[in-house]
Structure 1
Amino acid sequence: MKHSGIARRRCDCTNVSRRSEPTLHPNFRRYLVWARKERDSMTSPKLPLTGGCSCTAIRYEIQAFPLLLYACNCTDCQTASGSAFALNMPVKRRHLSILRGKPKGWHRKSAAGEQVTTWFCGDCAAPLYGEREGRPDIAAIRAGTLDETSWLVPVAQLFMKSAQPWIKPVLEPECYESTPADFRTLIDKWRAMWPDFFRGSDA
C-alpha cells in the first residue's frame, strides 16, 4: 500500500488506545446489533461460497467461511478497483479452489518491500484476489466477485485518511487512519458477527 503508519481512530474521532483483548467498544456493540439484524433479515450464506470474474472465464470456490471482511480506502485499492474503496475478504489459501480458468498475476513490491501479487482474469481483467509474500497462507478475495453478496457487512474501514470525503461508514464501525497494528481484534469481532460459522472451527 502507498501509505504507512498505524495511527488509529474511531469514526466519531474519539482516540482510543490499542487493546490486544477482544473488547467491544460501545460503538461496535451498536454496530453489531445492527449488523446481526441485517444478517437475520437476509439469507445466511451457504458453504461453499462461489464466485468468478465478469466474463465467467474463471470460477472459484471457497470451502470455509471467510476470516474477515473489511473495506480498504487506500489509494492502491481505489486505483485497482476503479472505485472509492475495495471490499477485501481474507480466506485461508487452502480453502480457495479455482474451478475453471487460470488467473494471471500482476507482481509488484509493496511500500514495505514485500512481494504482492494480484490475480485477475486475463480476458475481462476483473481482479479476483491478492496474495502477499509475508502471508502465503492467506488469499484476500475481492468480495464483490462472489455470486451472492447481499450478506456482506464489513467489520472495519481501513485507510480513512485517504477515504473519499463522502464515505460515511454505517453506524460507525471501527475505523483506522491506515491499518491496525494487529488484525486479531477485528477477527474476533468478525467471529462475533457470525458465531455459527466458527464453532469448533480452526479457520
Structure 2
Amino acid sequence: MQDNTVHQGGCLCGAVRFEAHGIPKRVGACHCRYCQLRSGSAFGVSVYFPEDDVRVLQGELKSYQYQTETGNTTVNQFCTECGSTVLWKVGALPDYTGTAGGSYDPPTFWYELQREVFQRSSADFVHLAVPESHPTIPYYDPQLPEAERLKGG
C-alpha cells in the first residue's frame, strides 16, 4: 500500500518551500562534523526520501558542493535569503534527497529515528534512544588521516 501523505516545509524566512511525498526511506541522526556544521548543532536530523518524491515549490536555492574525506560528493542546498539548509544530496545515497528534520511545518511529522551514525563524534551530552548506533558508517573509508581532516580549510 502506497502512502500518499504530503509533508510540507521550508526555510526560516519562508522564501523556500518544499514538499515530500510518502514515508521517508531513512530517518537518522548524524554526528559527523559536516552535519554539525551544516545544522549548527550537535547533530543533524536527516530525513531521506526517494529523489522523485521531493519537490521545491517556491524560492531560490543556492548549492554548496564539497568532497568528503571518503571521496564522495555532498551538495547542500540552502535559501539564498536566510541561509537555512533545506535539502541535500550525498554521494553515498544517489537516489535519495535529504531533508532537514526540523524544517517541516507544524504539526511537524516526526518519524522515529531509525539510527545514528558517526556516534564516535557525538557530543558528550547527547544520548539518543535509537535501534541502531554506529561509530561511523559501513562504507566510511577516509582518504586523509583524522588529524589532517580535522584541521579544516
Which residue of 97, 102, 107 maps to 1:144?
102
Query: What is the match of residue 157 of structure 1?
Result: 116
In the alignment, what sits opposite 1:62? Answer: 20
**Bigger Rg, which one:** 1
TM-score normalised by L of structure 2: 0.81
Note if 1:169 corresponds to 2:128: yes
Deviation at 1:180, TM superposition (A): 3.8
RMSD: 1.8
Gaps of 5+ in 2: 140-153
Question: TM-score normalized by structure 1?
Answer: 0.62
After TM superposition, give the deviation of residue 153 of structure 1 in Å: 2.2
Larger helix proportion, structure 1 or 2? 1
SS at match of 2:95: strand
Kept in 1, the 8 Å contact 2:4–2:21? The answer is no
Distance change (3 Å), C-alpha of 1:139 and 1:61: same
Give me the identity figure in percent.
26
- Measured in 2, the distance between the counterparts of 1:59 and 1:153 equals 24
Which whole-Å deviations, capped at 9, do the CAs of 1:87-123 have from their partners, x for residues lacking one?
0011111011111112110011111222210000011
Matches within 5 A, 1:46-85: 47-85=5-43
Quickly say closer, same or farther: Cα 1:138–1:73, change in 2 above 3 A.
same
Q: 5+ unaligned residues in a row in structure 1: which ranges?
A: 1-44, 182-203
Deviations 1:17-46 (A, max 9, x none): xxxxxxxxxxxxxxxxxxxxxxxxxxxx98
What does residue 45 of structure 2 align with? 87
Greater strand fraction, Structure 1 or Structure 2? 2
Q: Distance in 2 between matches of 1:91 and 1:73?
A: 20
| Cα distance change on mapping 1:138 and 1:150 into 2, 3 Å | closer
**What's the CA shift for 1:134?**
5.0
Q: Tell me how far apart the structure 1 counterparts of residues 92 and 17 of structure 2 sit (CA, whole Å).
A: 26
Using the TM superposition, give the Cα deviation of residue 85 of structure 1 relative to its aligned residue in structure 2, in angstroms. 0.3
The change in CA–CA distance for 1:180 and 1:112 in structure 2 (over 3 A counts) is: closer
Aligned to 1:97: 55
**2:136 alignment partner, SS class:** coil
Kindly provide the amino acid, as one letter, of the partner of residue 62 in structure 2. K
* Other-structure match for 1:13: none
Letter in 1 for 2:104: L
Structure 1 residue 132, shift from structure 2 partner: 2.7
